Structure 1
């Protein structure tokens, strides 16, 4: 488990501060984009690999990196999200439910591909 200044990361916690939260955002793109997104959220560089593996890719072997386009949903509290450049897009995390429309950020390269 990762160590946070305020405690330990656990399922159901914000990927940035480690406090419990039920709000989420999504990221669609390559593994590199998802790591960059965690950095934008405020996950420190020395914790980003462990955070990605535990929060986004928990079933992946330690020596492996996911390939292709991936969609990952991560828990992030409103306070941590409000401090990110992503918040300037007018998007807010939503409470996660089975039928929730999760706001998903698409990697810039994938956006260009979709536009043609």
Structure 2
């Protein structure tokens, strides 16, 4: 892992259960909505890219989006610096997550909660 992670204490997700950010497929698009208002979004994203974190939503990007960014820019060795350069901004989606993604997130959350309650029983 890279650098100091003091930024994490200011993240919008700090009080959330981590497994909510490790959903699959369309549910990731709904989860990342929280990231778009996060004051440390770019620090989170650069950490995930520098560390090549493969799973979960980080800095408002899904696994697939981060893989594409890494593939398209193999020359980048310092993502924080690259993201700070003019013209390298990561654009926010123009619209909110589709209803299917929100429903998928709700279903994944329900399955996770059922799994926990069964494990406790």
Which of the two has greater strand per residue?
1
Give the helix-richer structure, 1 or 2: 2
Which TM bucket (shorter chain)? under 0.3
Structure whose alpha-carbon radius of gyration is higher: 2
TM-score after normalising by structure 2: 0.26
